[in-house]
Amino acid sequence: MIPRWYWFVSGLAVLWMLFGVLAFIMDPLTDEAALAQMSEAERELFLERPTWLFVIYGIAVFSGLVGAVGLLMRRSWAVTAFVVSLVTVIIQFIYVLFVMDAIGRIGAVAALPFPLVIFVIGAGLLWFSLFARRNGWFHP
């Protein structure tokens, strides 16, 4: 029997991933007014991102959403989707934080918290999907 909290966590996962998809959709719609509110270093980081990184970002959020929906559907492929999401999140943040030097340009206090939260939640959802599979909560 699947505990009630499974559905609560799965529902929260879908909401979290929908926020990620919304942020992805809004990203290219960033206008001059929004750019003007950023610091010079933040604006440079935003504008210097290569196109392939935006593709990685999309893969991360959409595979995460697929994983979250997989949780609701109780499908074992949710695990694979969360692995893809977490790997692409890691690629994205390593590139931004270290290759683009976001930490050096805007400081660790500004650059690290949100990526760390995203990583921890992504790792948590992967762990949760593995836990659900181990407990037989997914359909065969």
Of 14, 106, 26, 99, nearest to 62 by C-alpha is 14
Residue 106 has pLDDT above 90, yes or no: yes
Of 58, 63, 28, 44, nearest to 104 by C-alpha is 44
Reported as a pLDDT band with limits 50, 70 and 90, residue 31 is very high
* Phi, psi angle pair for 93, to nearest 5°: -75, -35
What are 4-23's pLDDT values in tens digits?
Answer: 999 999 999 999 999 999 99
Average the pLDDT over 60-87 and give the result.
98
Residue 140 has pLDDT above 90, yes or no: no
What are the DSSP calls for 75-95, one per residue? BTHHHHHHHHHHHHHHHHHHI
Q: Strand pairing partners for 94?
A: none
